[in-house]
Amino acid sequence: MKNLRFMSRFVALLILALAFVGFVAAPVSHADYRKLLKAPDGYIKKTQYLDVRERARAEHGKGYDKHPSQNVRDWYADVMSVSNADRVTQLQHIFAVTKARMEYRAERADVWSTPGESIGRGYGDCDDFTAAFLVAAVMLKFERSGLWFVAGTVNTQAGKIGHAVAMVRLEDDSGYVLDNRARRVMSENEYSLLDPVYGVNVAEGAVWGGVLLDKEGKPRKAY
Considering only CA atoms, give the Rg of the chain. Answer: 17
What is the arithmetic mean of pLDDT over 130-143? 96
Question: Do the beta carbons of residue 39 and residue 209 sit within 8 Å?
Answer: yes
Band of pLDDT at residue 78, cut at 50, 70 and 90: very high
3-state DSSP of 134-203: HHHHHHCCCCHHHEEEEEEEEEECCEEEEEEEEEEECCCCCEEEECCCCCCCEECCCCCCCEEEEEEECC
Q: Check pLDDT > 70 for residue 15.
A: no
Q: What is the pTM assigned to this prediction? A: 0.78
Q: Check pLDDT > 90 for residue 132.
A: yes
Question: Do the beta carbons of residue 213 and residue 223 sit within 8 Å?
Answer: no
Q: How many CA atoms lie within 13 A of 223 on its CB side?
A: 21
Contacts of 51 (CB under 8 A, 6+ apart): 112
Structurally, the chain folds into a number of domains equal to 1
Position 134: which residue type? L
Domain with 9 in it = 4-222
CATH of residue 125's domain is: 3.10.620.30
Q: pLDDT higher for 64 or 220?
A: 64
